[in-house]
Structure 1
Amino acid sequence: MQQDPEVADRVRKVIADAGATQREFARRIVMDPSKLSRSLGGTRRFTAAELARIADTGGVDAGWLLGTQLPGTQNAAPPARRERTAAAPEGGRPLQIVRETVRLVAERGFHAVRVADIAEACATSTAAIHYHFPGRDDLLEAAVRWCMDEDTARRAARIADAADAADELRQLIELQTPRTPQQRWQWSVWLDLWAEAARSTAVGRLHAEYYRQWRATVADVIRRGVDQGVFRLVDPQSAALRLTALIDGLATQVLASTPGTDGTTPDDMHEALLVYVDATLAAPRSA
């Protein structure tokens, strides 16, 4: 059963009124950009939950998106955009739900977090949670996607002002070293989601896509370093695979270590990574 093409037209209007690109709007509603593109192109139906998130984020009525005609009303134009009240969550309810889910997962682990806990953290009802994300799998997938987007944005900001590729790589290593409470929090989420990826096909696909992007970022930095002469001639893809695996293993050891014991510390991790880069990637220094 095909979706009314006018629904896609209304969604396009919402995106245009939001002043966002399709990719940016997909990020706001925590939706796979390719799914949004296919739905707008008519090869995929929007789900009810996706339309709910679009309506909430766009500040329009979900009934208008669906073309629900009320007696004495017209559907040619959207209702007046709803103004956010002081009590409305920043970024809209869907993003609030996802952010609180990620926070609770970091604190307790995914399987210890109930929908009721998320609803309480968002000061809303469980029905409102299910309205935007019908099942736990939907919520987990959205949480993974949000973490991916946030991590990508942090990486881009971190290396924006780097002097050269060697500096870029040092910045990426620093970003991945769990020193601060926020960095430890981020790693705790990822470790929990890794375990879930082994059980969930949808999360597994996201996990694979995240690591494809992450390794591609590192490989691009190494490739530029080779071109700049700051790194020796190596295969960027292979070097990125080894380095990211080392980062993951060391970060896991850091998080598993109790502060004040003889376990692996963030400083140990950082030093080990810099020594590895110097031994395997850094170009030989001139005599």
Structure 2
Amino acid sequence: MKSDEGPTSAPTADAAVRVRAVIANAGVSQREFARRVVMDPSKLSRALSGTRRFTVAELARIADEGRVDADWLLGSRPREKGTAPAVGIEGGRPLQIVRETVRLVAERGFHAVRVADIARACATSSAAIHYHFPGRAELLEAAVRWCMDEDTARRAAHLAEADDAAAELRQLIALQTPRTAQQRRQWAVWLDLWAEAARSTAVGRLHSEYYRQWRETVTDVLRRGVGQGVFRAGIDPDAAALTLTALIDGLATHVLSASGPSSATAADAMHATLTAHVTHTILAP
């Protein structure tokens, strides 16, 4: 995916004031707005506080979501165009681009996906893709963050349904076993991310951040289970979480390498192995 400079106007210093107005008008939390424009919440927070500048691409996505004129956000036009048309797709154009990028990356691998492929899948032009995501790195980051947010939200929803920590751990294992098309697609993106992380510092930071959050989730469940008496009293939650997540990663890689009926068999074997590990090393006797 070749880079494109996109809009060349530099964001003005008072762009943060305008963005705050757009978020307020949207009637959602700052974190939810960041999710909608596929932006790291911490970057949005720093930009709003004045410790970093919004990029032109970020302002383009914010304008798209807020249905305001991008030039008004940039400060090059005196007033907002209140009649800007809505994008006729669920979640807006940036989210559509990211969803299609994730699907294509899962199918082909990131380096085999061209901007033209994404544009064709979105029924738009390559220029429109570059308008929202000028460079390859920004598009990859947005796709990975979207996967992270989806994964985190799915885990939170399932953990909320569990009665105790043992049930929570079973839910986590089920969620991480790639049985469904969606689970396999997400794992395929993670595998591509691992390969890219070995070559890119920026992607490596994303990779580290995701796995920090994931291991903290498992550690918290294990610590809670020890307190509830459903897990062994002598286990070290941090060490046990590291072992379990590493086992999940390795087994999932084997499942993803299988195809056809053997894929379902491999997923069953993965789930059985993880369940046995938990039974023999984590659950209270």
What TM-score, normalized to structure 1? 0.92
Report what 2:31 is aligned to.
23
8 Å CA contact 1:215–1:241 kept in 2: the answer is: yes
Q: Deviations over 1:195-245 (max 9, x none)?
A: 111111111101100000000000000010000000012111111000000
State the distance in 2 between where 1:9 and 1:122 align: 32
Q: Is the 8 A contact 1:253 1:264 kept in 2?
A: no
Letter in 2 for 1:283: A
2:86 pairs with 84, 87, 90, which one? 84
Aligned to 2:237: 236
CA contact (8 A) 2:179 2:264 kept: no
Deviations 1:128-167 (A, max 9, x none): 1111111111111111111100100010111111010000
CA distance in 1, matches of 2:41, 2:264: 41
Match of 2:141 in 1: 141
Is the aligned partner of 1:56 residue 2:69?
no
Distance 1:129 1:102 in 2: 14
Alpha-carbon distance in 1 for matches of 2:149, 2:119: 23
Q: CA deviation at 1:5?
A: 3.7
Unpaired segments ≥5 residues, structure 1:
none
Moved over 3 A (4+): 2-5, 258-264
Task: Report what 1:276 is aligned to.
Answer: 277
Secondary structure at the aligned position of 2:232 is classed as coil
> CA deviation digits over 1:4-53, x for unaligned, max 9?
44211100010111112111111111111111111111111111100000
User: Is 1:59–1:82's contact at 8 Å kept on the other side of the alignment?
Assistant: yes
Q: CA deviation at 1:258?
A: 3.2
Confirm or deny: 8 A CA contact 1:3 1:42 kept in the other structure: no
Q: Which has the larger radius of gyration?
A: 1
In the alignment, is the contact (CA less than 8 A) between 1:100 and 1:118 conserved in 2? Answer: yes
Q: Which amino acid aligns with 1:276?
A: H
CA distance in 2 between partners of 1:37 and 1:122 (Å): 30
Deviation digits for residues 91-121 of structure 1, max 9, x if unmatched?
1111111100000001111111000000111
Residue equivalent to 2:128: 128
How far, CA to CA, are the matches of 2:52 and 2:36 in structure 1?
Answer: 20
Distance 1:46 1:283 in 2: 51
Q: Which residue is equivalent to 1:185?
A: 185
Q: How does 1:1-287 map to 2 (within 5 A)?
A: 4-69=12-77, 74-75=78-79, 78-80=80-82, 82-84=84-86, 88-233=88-233, 234-261=235-262, 265-284=266-285
Q: CA separation in 2, counterparts of 1:203 and 1:264?
A: 32
Post-superposition offset of 1:80: 1.4
Q: Which has the higher contact order (CA 8 A, sep 6+)?
A: 2
Compute the RMSD of aligned alpha carbons: 1.7
User: Aligned partners of 1:27, 1:49: CA distance in 2, in Å?
Assistant: 15
Cα offset for 1:263?
9.8
Alignment: residue pair count: 275
CA contact (8 A) 1:49 1:133 kept: yes
CA distance in 2: counterparts of 1:220 and 1:81, whole angstroms: 48
Summarize deviations over 1:233-260 as a string: whole Å, max 9, x none: 2111111000000000001011112334
TM-score if structure 2 supplies the norm length? 0.92
Partner of 2:14, secondary structure, is helix
Structure 1: which amino acid aligns with 2:86? Answer: R
Q: Secondary structure at the match of 1:80?
A: coil
Matched-pair identity in %: 72
Contact 2:37 2:62 in 1 (8 A): yes
Is the 1:49–1:134 Cα contact (8 Å) retained in structure 2?
Answer: yes
Runs of 5+ consecutive residues of structure 2 not aligned to the other structure:
1-9
